[in-house]
Structure 1
Amino acid sequence: MMTSEPDSLPRNGWTTTSADMPAAVGGTPLIRLSRASDATGCDIFGKAEFMNPGGSVKDRAALAIIEDAEKRGVLKPGGTIVEGTAGNTGIGITLVANARGYKSVIVMPETQSQEKIDFLRMIGADLRLVPAKPYRDQGNYVHVSRRLSEENGWLWANQFDNVANREGHRLTTGPEIWEQMGGKVDAFTCACGTGGTLAGIGFGLNDAAEAAGVARPKIVLADPEGSGLYGWVKSGDLSVSGSSITEGIGQSRVTANLEGAIIDDAERIADPEALEQIYSLLIHEGLSVGGSSGINVAAAIRVARTLGPGHRIATILCDGGARYQSKLFNPEFLRSKDLPVPAWLDR
């Protein structure tokens, strides 16, 4: 059950002053997506997580993990936090660490966008780039970060298997969505990397529905090609096929954050379908978002069409498009992947 009723939530960020950067994490707007809503006869809302101080939904996981470590006494003043990340969690950890007086060491695959690499260096992270390798390889960025923790006595954030990640979303993001939608939520869609966002929000929405004595929303995992989670939900098969240009989502294993999660269904979204939503949101609604947001919105549209007109669906707008300018908004890169180039870029 929730520790507080939805109407007693701390209203961070947009309706109050904040004591510092970590206190401003959360409290993000929930925006009705007009074209997706009009196309389906439903109300589809995107939680604007790109409006967190560090620019992504991962600010919440970073803060939850650090605060949990502080409470357990395993992160001491002046300590160092190390994490393996596709970028956004590293940004969140570095900024929260800066605000709290910690040092951060970030291990990231060298294939991630140059914008995230440059930003991490700019904000003071000790960035270690490694070759992109599958999780089964000990050179994988997650394993490298774990070894650095063991060798140096640093705190390993371990976002994939540290359930403080999903607990942070259970206590904040889920109840926020419930309150902002007045308790009228029929479905929620979200992609997974760690699984913390989907699982935590699913638990939070379930808690709120139980407290209100109403049916809980349908929880739908949105998955890119090249990930095994769609098959895991549908048939227990984690086999991977295909690929995607999206970053930070998709998985070939069941993380601790996903264990026991409430998941009713899954949608697999190909890159062209995701890009269509990314470009539509930008040009028609003034919302600049990244690849995972396109996956999430495309899945929300599919779910809305399955449920039928009159339903209300929420999803996550994970981060902003500026972090992917060299890929999602680069005609040369898009053509190299045989992906559509939007008209305004094709000049």
Structure 2
Amino acid sequence: MNIPNTSFSSLKNFINELSRIMPHVENGKVVNPTPIIDLTELIAECARREYKINIDAKKIKVYGKLESKLPAGSVKTRPAYYILKNAIENGLLKEDTIVFEATSGNFGISLSLLTKLGIKVVAIVSRKLQEGVLEELSKSGVKIIDLDIDICPAPGLKVSLDVLSAKLAYDKIKESLEEIGLDIMKLARFENEIESLLIKQDVINLAKLLAKIYNGFCPEQYDNECNPKVHEEITAREIEQQLNELGEDINEFTIVCTFGTGGTATGLSNYFLKTLHLKKVRVIYPLSAQDVAGIRTKEKALGLRFYKPELYLGEHEVDFEEAKKLLIFFNERGVSIGESSALALYATIQMINFGLGNKFLVILPDDFEKYSKKYEIRTIKLSVSYDEVKDRINEYEAIIWTHGAFIPNEEAIELISKQFNIDKRKIEIANREEMIQLTLKSQIPDRIKSKKKILLMCVGGGTSLKIAEFLFKNGIIAQSLEGGIIPLTSKIGKKVEELLKPFSKN
């Protein structure tokens, strides 16, 4: 979490501190916005490498909005803040209040901010939660009731438990509440009502009922108007403001987001319909029966209070199995995104490919940390030693010389070929225009775009490392040889200047 490790003397002190660090409006401007990053080159490279889709990066623009930078690490901090602020101001939440909520992870983690005040937060979760999500929720200080049922099926969706399973789930609730230190005798007269909710897998209303039984507070994220309101009043204005600061026109952009409670999609849609009189939001779902952390399939969105398809520019169901390739691609290149972010970005590639727009801003709800145990992500060293390269030389498609003043002479090329036991044809030299592209224009030469993995060399290793960093950020696996050509010259007793010649002006 990004919230300061502060001891709060009161709820008022807590909400004042949270208000200070959250995105909010001051003097007509949103302050503390979450970052927007340009993902255009990375999207184009991912499309080409992972999906064999050719996208011209010069003809598109894709920004990502990093909601993982919010105090509790996800977009859910926004509605949690608005809901808690409203509850505190209206006397619904006090220091001795117990908070109950059904959550698939991120909202519960956001509520854990209250535990700094000693307030008990009880999250009703499902065994379907991924290990990393459940682990982070546990570490956050939230008390957990872990049920082996769907965390939040859509109202009216025909799913049910048998009576025996419902009774077992009821016993699990009693056991968990007793461990938390609550009086389970209070449950007795509500047993039939609780079991009825369990049979229907209605965990949303179960949380409301438990709050009623224990005179607690339920944030009701699925029904609380503060949820879409925060996105209408803050997030949407924030997006418009940031695009304007980047010299972009909001009218030209489509907003892309996934669907959890519907708060983000509906709040953003409300704002743009009221201010621009345009539908701007495309909503993304995984395919039916696919499990994406915190995200609903379209069929499970039906019947939810904040599901408002008439407000959306479009709804799209995409294959999360395909989106996993993008998830790994981005995280291996240092852009930390979670599962729902990957789904939204993959959908964006498909929308570009099918002509549904060329300018997009994608909401990235959280980062990769909670999901890291589920995926095998390779970390790439940008600077590698001679010995490391020699052991894996066949992994590289080419060795490319990248220096703006000097290039290797024929003797140097022979030396590189011999030391790494490779054909001289695998040793390439970036020409003057390519060096200008790489070092001054922040552009990737076509020759480099076509390669999967390359080793960069220069005189001393500095220029090649800077270029490797630039290429890596833009989706190309490039590594720089430590020390450049200098370590190789020592092997044959030559001075560096004897193996180099000035870059030709032609």
In structure 2, the partner of 1:292 is 340
CA offsets 1:210-239 (integer angstroms, 9 cap, x no match): 5xxxxx35321101012xxxxxxxxxxxxx
User: SS where residue 373 of structure 2 aligns?
Assistant: coil
CA offsets 1:15-67 (integer angstroms, 9 cap, x no match): xxx96345323410011113225735311111100111211111111111111
Pairing 1:49-128 to 2, within 5 Å after superposition: 49-95=67-113, 97-98=114-115, 102-128=119-145
The Cα shift of 1:208 comes to 4.0
Task: Write the letter of the residue equivalent to 2:127.
Answer: E
CA–CA separation in structure 2 for the residues paired with 1:108 and 1:312: 37
Is the counterpart of residue 274 in structure 1 residue 298 in structure 2?
Answer: no
- 5+ residue gaps, structure 2, are 5-14, 24-32, 46-54, 154-158, 161-196, 379-476, 478-506
CA–CA separation in structure 1 for the residues paired with 2:291 and 2:356: 31
User: Quick check: 1:296–1:315 contact (8 Å CA) kept in 2?
Assistant: yes
Task: Write the letter of the residue equivalent to 1:244.
Answer: Q
Identity %, equivalent residues = 23
In structure 2, the partner of 1:199 is 266
The Cα shift of 1:102 comes to 3.5
Q: How many residues align?
A: 293
CA–CA separation in structure 1 for the residues paired with 2:332 and 2:280: 30
Q: 1:209 to 1:329 in 2, by over 3 A?
A: farther
The Cα shift of 1:322 comes to 1.4
In structure 2, the partner of 1:4 is none
User: SS where residue 111 of structure 2 aligns?
Assistant: helix
Is the counterpart of residue 316 in structure 1 residue 330 in structure 2?
Answer: no
Is the counterpart of residue 250 in structure 1 residue 250 in structure 2?
Answer: no
Find the structure with the greater CA-based Rg. 2
CA offsets 1:225-268 (integer angstroms, 9 cap, x no match): 12xxxxxxxxxxxxxxxx22311111513311224762121111
- 5+ residue gaps, structure 1, are 1-12, 211-215, 227-242, 332-343
Alignment TM-score, normalising by the size of structure 1: 0.76
Pairing 1:322-341 to 2, within 5 Å after superposition: 322-329=369-376
In structure 1, the partner of 2:254 is 187
User: Quick check: 2:272–2:280 contact (8 Å CA) kept in 1?
Assistant: no
User: Quick check: 1:82–1:149 contact (8 Å CA) kept in 2?
Assistant: yes
The Cα shift of 1:209 comes to 2.5
User: SS where residue 63 of structure 2 aligns?
Assistant: strand
The Cα shift of 1:99 comes to 5.0
Q: 1:277 to 1:208 in 2, by over 3 A?
A: farther
User: SS where residue 172 of structure 1 aligns?
Assistant: helix
User: Quick check: 1:169–1:201 contact (8 Å CA) kept in 2?
Assistant: yes
User: SS where residue 325 of structure 1 aligns?
Assistant: helix
CA–CA separation in structure 2 for the residues paired with 1:180 and 1:78: 40
Equivalent in 28, 36, 41 of residue 30 of structure 1: 36
CA–CA separation in structure 2 for the residues paired with 1:186 and 1:254: 29
User: SS where residue 105 of structure 1 aligns?
Assistant: strand
User: SS where residue 17 of structure 2 aligns?
Assistant: coil
Q: 1:260 to 1:99 in 2, by over 3 A?
A: farther
Q: Which has the higher contact order (CA 8 A, sep 6+)?
A: 1
Task: Write the letter of the residue equivalent to 1:201.
Answer: L
User: Quick check: 2:323–2:346 contact (8 Å CA) kept in 1?
Assistant: yes
The Cα shift of 1:152 comes to 1.0
- Bigger helix share: 2
